[in-house]
Amino acid sequence: MATHTKEHYQIGIICALHTEAAAVIAMLDEPHPKLASQKDDPNDYSFGRIGVHNLVIACLPAGVIGKTTATTVANNMKRSFPIKIGLMVGIGGGVSSKKSDIRLGDIAVSQPTGSHGGVFQWDYGKTEQGGEFHHSGTLDKPPIALLNALQSLKIHDITKGIPLEDALTTMATNNPRMVEEFGYEYQGADEDQLFQSAYDHPAGETCEDCDVKEVIERKARKNTIPIVFYGNIASGNQVMKHGIARDRIAKKEGVICFEMEAAGLMDNFPCLVIRGICDYVDSHKNKIWQPYAAATAAAFARILLGFVEKQEVADTPVQQQYAILPFSRNADFVGRDDIFQSLDQLLPLTTTYQTAAIWGLGGCGKTQMALEYTYRWQQETSGSVFWVRGDTEASFSQSYSEIAKESGISFDLKGEDLLLAVQTWVEQLPNCLLVLDNVDDLRIFKKVYGHQNIDPSPSPELLRFVPRKNGMVLWTSRDNSILGRLVDFSRGVEVRGMSDREALELFQSRSGRPRSELPSDEESELLNLLENLPLAVSQSAAYIRSTRSTLKLYIEMLKESEIEQSELLDYEFSDVHRQSDMPNSVMKTWIISMKQIAKESQCAEKILNTIAYLDNQGLPFEVLSAAGGDGFKKHEILQAAGRLVDYSFLQAQITTEAAPPAYQEHRLVQLATRKALTKAKQNSEFSGNAIQIMERLFPNGTYETWSSCRVYLPLALKSVLWKEADGYKDMAPGLLGKIGRYYWEEGRYDEAERLELQALDLRRSMLGVKHPDTILAMANLASTWQQQNRSNEAEQLQLQVLNLQKSVVGEKHPDTIGAMANLASTWQQQGRSNEAEKLQLQVLKLRKSVVGEKHPSTILAMANLASTWQQQNRSNEAEQLQLQVLDLQKSVVGEKHPSTILAMANLASTWQQQNRSNEAEQLQLQVLDLQKSVVGEKHPSTILAMANLASMWHQQGRFSEAEKLQLQVLNLRKSVVGENHPDTILAMASLASTWRQQGRSSEAENLDLQVLALYKSVVGEKHPDTILAMASLASTWQQQNRSNEAEQLQLQVLDLQKSVVGEKHPSTILAMANLASMWHQQGRFSEAERLQLQVLNLRKSVVGEKHPDTIKDMASLASTWHQQGRFSEAEKL
């Protein structure tokens, strides 16, 4: 036997199933031994001879059928052997009709018919208006050598017939086991039933239960010799099992057979398709005819090869494959499987013309992905690949010149003639992929309408020369508007940053660091800083590798300053897989895009430059509109924002349908923008724009504006960082004050203080200490200190404010009177109610004389004075004044005004103090109902009204009702102001007190501990609220009979009160009284007596002998004397 090499096999046969391959092998005149397999070819081959032709036979992998697999197997075969013609041999489903009375076991052969080349993909196309599906695309026809042989065979059939029966008999004689055990024989006319198209097969594997009335009666044949039918074969990605759909497609396209592989071969593997009919493409499919149908197809293939001239095969040229790629394959390429899956779906292995685009931010790896995809495509298809640069007209023309040189196109052609010649030549190639890389300026390819064009240079309209009749075209661009302009909207794939795993793998491979599945802390930090952007990751890896610096040092430099960070990200590194004339740093890459945007849209340029100085997340449309500047309409702003989205500089965030759009910007893009502006000496201008916009848009901080404040807060905070901004010292204090006020309203007093200090420093430096804005900043800061219970510091600053107001605007100016009122409030907080009262009386008198008795500020002064009287337990006087306040508020601002409702709440509190519980409760219920109707159920004022009502019920001993309402208050405060807000913590403390009164000391203790921990973290260990929380916990421990722990904690409380507010403060005196009460309960009457005497003397000196607290202290002392048996003294007291 002669020795054969791969060069001897020029005819290839592909089968989908082992049943089919076995039949082909059984038809061989002579089997050949296997040849050594090729490294990059996973196919399993059989070899042999039929007549004068050597054949190589491949079968699709077990269980993996379909056109994609067929394409892969065929392309592997073409790489390993010099295949000139091929056959696809196997089984298929026949379409029987009046014109073609196809029976099971007959043969369908692909022959060009109508508009098809013999095979078409029946499920490729699109559903158009009205729901009708329209097939699109054309597949190649079989090679001329096979069509010539087919014609000769058909002539022979007319004169002498096709000896199919002889071939089948020979197979059965030589391979009896195939017939006896595997069914490679005619199955009988009784097993050949064709049902009506509309009749569906019932459940079950056989047709035993099918209605025989639905069987179509057909004339019996004279013999069992298969008949050959020629025409179009329909190939698809899915199994056809529906009679009506089968007939509709068959009638329209002239189909005689359906199958699933041929569409993947026709343009890549020049072949004729031969199918033995094993079913009728309906729901009545079964497998009993498959072996015989495979045998009839193999028999026809054997006979056909006898009509193929050996010389004609030799003269048939092998499909030439071209490859013009700018770089070798990148062995370090990482991941991006999701992108490739999307591209595979958009560019399936088919011969119909396909186009797709990958787009994304510069530096996200588009070129590298296109390069890797091209190498993969070339390996899978053995097709031709071309790489065309689309960044400029010159680079496009140069790329086409290289293709012309490779193809042998005449050198005499120039300009558009050359471009047209290359386009025509590429379109004639049977299988090719053309990549158009870096198509960032779409105007080069097509005129662009719809947005302002600052640089309206004429378009060369290069799209005219891009292939559009055959093969595949893959575009890469930074500009999302390539979708809809150069490719269909549905044919784009956005490329973003890598996944964490991919970025880690890229960094480790490029930096030379050890590979690991999990990142180190430093690797995670770096990749997070670089936001997994491939070019930035490659830059950092190259820098570390070339400078041999440590990762820790690199991160330190990256975080050291913005200048250092931008320099590192401007580092250019050598890369054999990138164009030498293209920038190789993220900074330079993005600056190119920025220049392109500047050419197209002045509005987009201004937006990009301004928002570089704001936070990169949650950019509302209003900010973009303001950044665009005056003179642009809303639709122009939207178009400009759209262009920034197109370039991936902005990303539109998901909002509700009714909400205006919001955007986010890549953090490193902001850095690149600021670097460019600094270089152009425009950084002061645009950072000034940013702070001016925020100063204008940021709300006043009241509850009604909180939702807007939360949107603008991160933007505003970022804007005040740029001290080089034009007008910074003029605008920053006002914005800082607004933000501080919002923090103050939310109870975030530490944050408010930090900003108010900055605002005050700026006001002092710019305007001087006596300017009204400076004095206002001082007053705001003092108000914050007061809320932090730093009353001594607040008092000192308020005294300064008062003196300054007197000297600047005079004693009777409203601002001066306001300063007096604030100072009085601080004295009241310090327990200095007598001094507070005197000052409040002055305030009231001045306001009456300056603004009148019915002015809101006068009424407020009356309310504050009443509050002081209430604190002094002068409840009758407080009530009379509060009734006046309430009447005035009703007449001045109306019954439902928040000020009126507050006056009602204050009066209810006084009635509660007077033990007029029912009246107080009724009024408080009215307050609650009004608050709900006026400001809503979740407004802080409404929640406060609920808390006050719960407090009343608590004082009345109605603990169950109080608890239910307190739980509602707590949940509302958590959702409205947050878990760490002082009001929320107070709600927890009130609930704990109720649980303690209910004897639920364990639950109370748990909540007391939470309250104490929160106060310590939010307001600090020495804050009065924290000290009060300690006292509450001590009371709970006392209730649990944990006397020693309770005493130790109460001693701490007393020491803290003395150091924080002083020995004579009411809070300190109360702490002494509580400690004395503990000692009394412990039977330590002598110690209790000594402390109670001190308490009594202090009360008399601070609040007077008739104050209720003083009287209560006298009663406590009398109780102790009584316990000591000093009955006479106790009775007198």
What is the tens place of the pLDDT at every residue in 605-634?
Answer: 999 999 999 999 989 999 999 999 888 888
- The dihedrals phi and psi of 840, each to the nearest 5 degrees, come to -70, -35
Mean pLDDT of 22-40: 91
Provide the 10 A C-beta neighbour count for residue 398.
Answer: 12
- The dihedrals phi and psi of 44, each to the nearest 5 degrees, come to -110, 125
Q: Which residues are CB-contacts of 428 (< 8 A; sequence separation ≥ 6)?
A: 470
pLDDT of residue 298: 96
**Three-class SS string for 567-597?**
HHCCCCCCCCCCCCCCCCCHHHHHHHHHHHH
Mean pLDDT of 538-550: 79
Domain containing residue 651: CATH number: 1.10.10.10
pLDDT of residue 413: 85
Q: 991-1000: b or e for each residue (b if 16 or more CB lie within 10 Å)? A: bbbbbbeeeb
**pLDDT one-digit tens code per residue, 573-587:** 555 445 555 555 677
Q: Which of 711, 726, 741 is the last residue of a domain?
A: 726
Asked whether 325 and 387 are in contact (CB, 8 A), the reply is yes
pLDDT of residue 681: 93
pLDDT of residue 972: 92
pLDDT of residue 457: 55
Q: Map tokens 């007008």 to a residue.
A: 727
Asked whether 4 and 82 are in contact (CB, 8 A), the reply is no
- pLDDT above 70 for 458: no
Measured CA distances, 165 to 49, 172, 628 (Å)? 20, 11, 83
Asked whether 191 and 279 are in contact (CB, 8 A), the reply is no
* Beta sheet of 384-389, edge-to-edge order: 323-324, 384-389, 432-437, 472-477, 354-360, 492-495
d(CA 7, CA 912): 108
The runs of H, that is alpha helices, within 872-1000 are 875-892, 898-913, 917-935, 940-955, 959-976, 982-997
Residue 533 covered by a domain: yes
- In this structure, the answer to whether residues 551 and 505 fall within a common structural domain is yes
**pLDDT one-digit tens code per residue, 129-170:** 555 666 655 677 888 889 999 999 999 999 999 999 999 998
Domain containing residue 420: CATH number: 3.40.50.300
pLDDT of residue 137: 59
Cα 578–Cα 644–Cα 542 angle in degrees, nearest 5:
30
Residue 147 covered by a domain: yes
* pLDDT-based confidence at residue 350 (cuts at 50, 70, 90): low
pLDDT of residue 201: 66
- In this structure, the answer to whether residues 349 and 403 fall within a common structural domain is yes
Q: Which of 495, 523, 539 is the last residue of a domain?
A: 495
Residue 240 covered by a domain: yes
Residue 170 covered by a domain: yes
Asked whether 1041 and 1018 are in contact (CB, 8 A), the reply is no
Q: Strand (E) positions, 679-803?
A: none
**pLDDT one-digit tens code per residue, 986-1024:** 999 999 999 999 999 999 999 999 999 998 888 788 887
- pLDDT above 70 for 510: yes
Cα 696–Cα 700–Cα 706 angle in degrees, nearest 5:
110
Asked whether 855 and 847 are in contact (CB, 8 A), the reply is yes
pLDDT of residue 938: 84
- In this structure, the answer to whether residues 609 and 541 fall within a common structural domain is no
CA 149 to chain centre: 60
- pLDDT above 70 for 659: no
* pLDDT-based confidence at residue 451 (cuts at 50, 70, 90): very low
Measured CA distances, 1011 to 967, 969, 1035, 1056 (Å)? 15, 15, 14, 18
- In this structure, the answer to whether residues 458 and 511 fall within a common structural domain is no
Type of residue numbered 499: S
| DSSP, residue by residue, 309-365 | -HHHHHHSPPPP--EE-SS---TT----HHHHHHHHHHS-S-SS-EEEEEEESTTSS
Residue 411 covered by a domain: yes
Least trusted range by pLDDT, from 268-272, 842-846, 901-905, 1000-1004: 268-272
Residue 902 covered by a domain: no
Of 637, 642, 727, 723, residue with least CA distance to 689 = 727
pLDDT of residue 817: 92
* pLDDT-based confidence at residue 702 (cuts at 50, 70, 90): confident
d(CA 1121, CA 521): 69
pLDDT of residue 373: 92
28, 34, 37, 42 alpha-carbon torsion, rounded to 10° = 40
Measured CA distances, 1039 to 176, 791, 885, 1123 (Å)? 100, 33, 42, 21
Residue 510 covered by a domain: yes
Of 144, 355, 380, 352, residue with least CA distance to 267 = 352
Residue 266 covered by a domain: yes
- In this structure, the answer to whether residues 23 and 107 fall within a common structural domain is yes
- In this structure, the answer to whether residues 472 and 404 fall within a common structural domain is yes
**pLDDT one-digit tens code per residue, 1027-1079:** 889 999 999 998 898 989 988 999 999 998 888 878 888 888 888 999 888 88
**pLDDT one-digit tens code per residue, 703-727:** 778 889 999 999 999 999 998 888 8
Radius of gyration of the CA atoms of the chain, in A: 45
- In this structure, the answer to whether residues 477 and 547 fall within a common structural domain is no
- pLDDT above 90 for 686: yes
Angle between helices 683-697 and 621-628 (to 10 degrees): 130
Type of residue numbered 268: N
Q: How many domains does the chain have?
A: 4
Pairing of the two strands 662-665 and 650-653: antiparallel
| DSSP, residue by residue, 398-429 | HHHHHHHHHHT--TT--HHHHHHHHHHHHHHS
| DSSP run (H or E) holding 125 | strand 125-127
- In this structure, the answer to whether residues 379 and 473 fall within a common structural domain is yes
pLDDT of residue 575: 52
- pLDDT above 90 for 192: no
**pLDDT one-digit tens code per residue, 277-323:** 998 888 767 789 999 999 999 999 999 999 999 888 888 777 778 88
- In this structure, the answer to whether residues 353 and 422 fall within a common structural domain is yes
pLDDT of residue 781: 94
| DSSP run (H or E) holding 639 | helix 634-646
- In this structure, the answer to whether residues 198 and 283 fall within a common structural domain is yes
d(CA 889, CA 308): 109
Name the residue range of residue 543's domain: 500-581
**pLDDT one-digit tens code per residue, 464-483:** 999 988 889 999 998 888 99
Type of residue numbered 572: E
pLDDT of residue 597: 86
- In this structure, the answer to whether residues 179 and 55 fall within a common structural domain is yes
Q: Which of 693, 709, 726 is the last residue of a domain?
A: 726
* pLDDT-based confidence at residue 823 (cuts at 50, 70, 90): very high
- In this structure, the answer to whether residues 609 and 634 fall within a common structural domain is yes
**pLDDT one-digit tens code per residue, 366-418:** 888 899 999 888 877 778 999 999 988 989 999 999 999 888 888 788 889 99
Domain containing residue 11: CATH number: 3.40.50.1580
Residues β-bridged to residue 473: 355, 434
Q: Map tokens 């082992």 to a residue.
A: 18
